[in-house]
């Protein structure tokens, strides 16, 4: 499980960089946008870096990137300005890289599945402006990400101390991610 602000390093002490967002693949960006907005997440200004439609939402503590693009989702996404060195470091450690996308037109990125079965993506730069101060959502405070299991095949984002949603509620987002309110 991933807790707090997601600034961890793995047991091999490989630097991920600076946490950017939990990236979620969605088949319908409009529906997902309406869902997170209805929960009180604040929309952030995106930068024109992706060829696919996307939006970014935050509650001031956690940021969710909604991408109308198919990928292994969710992905813990980090910014690492020295992506070439980070890729070499991860490959040298024996981590199996699932994808590498060097690009002159878009962000350079690579990704891998971590030991808990969660996709991790490293990008060369941010995809949004962090100038907006987001307000707390109705979900409460983000506590952890629980990866999918055989018993629970959907990833769950866990929030604690909800004010507007009944404690113990499980909401299913349009992209299939569960939100558990404790």
For residues 27 and 12, the model is more confident at 27
All residues at 6 or more sequence positions from 135 whose CB lies less than 8 Å from its CB, including other chains: 40, 42, 59, 60
- In this prediction the pTM is 0.81
- Is residue 63 predicted with pLDDT exceeding 50? yes
Q: How far is CA 76 from the centre of its chain?
A: 4
Q: Is the distance from CB of 118 to CB of 2 less than 8 angstroms?
A: yes
What CATH number labels 2-137?
Answer: 3.10.180.10
A 10 A CB-CB count for 133 gives 8
Q: What is the pLDDT of residues 92-108, one digit of tens each?
A: 999 999 999 876 666 68
Q: pLDDT value at position 4?
A: 36
- The domains of the chain are located at 2-137
Residue length of the chain = 182
| Euclidean distance between CA atoms 39 and 155, whole angstroms | 18
Terminal C-alpha separation, the chain: 16
């Amino acid at each position: 499980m991933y807790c707090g602000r997601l600034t961890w390093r793995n047991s091999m002490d490989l630097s991920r960089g600076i946490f950017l967002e939990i990236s979620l693949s969605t088949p319908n960006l409009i529906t997902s946008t309406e869902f997170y907005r209805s929960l009180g997440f604040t929309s952030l200004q995106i930068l024109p870096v992706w060829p696919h439609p996307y939006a970014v939402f935050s509650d001031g503590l956690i940021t969710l990137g909604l991408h109308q693009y198919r990928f292994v989702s969710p992905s813990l996404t980090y910014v690492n300005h020295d992506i070439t060195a980070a890729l070499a470091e991860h490959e040298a450690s024996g981590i199996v890289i699932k994808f590498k996308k060097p690009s002159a037109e878009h962000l350079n990125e690579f990704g891998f599945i971590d030991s808990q079965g969660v996709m991790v993506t490293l990008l060369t730069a941010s995809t949004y402006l962090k100038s907006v101060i987001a307000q707390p959502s109705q979900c409460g405070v983000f506590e952890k990400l629980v990866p999918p299991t055989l018993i629970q095949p959907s990833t769950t984002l866990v929030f604690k101390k909800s004010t507007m949603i009944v404690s113990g509620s499980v909401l299913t987002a349009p992209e299939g991610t569960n939100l558990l309110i404790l």
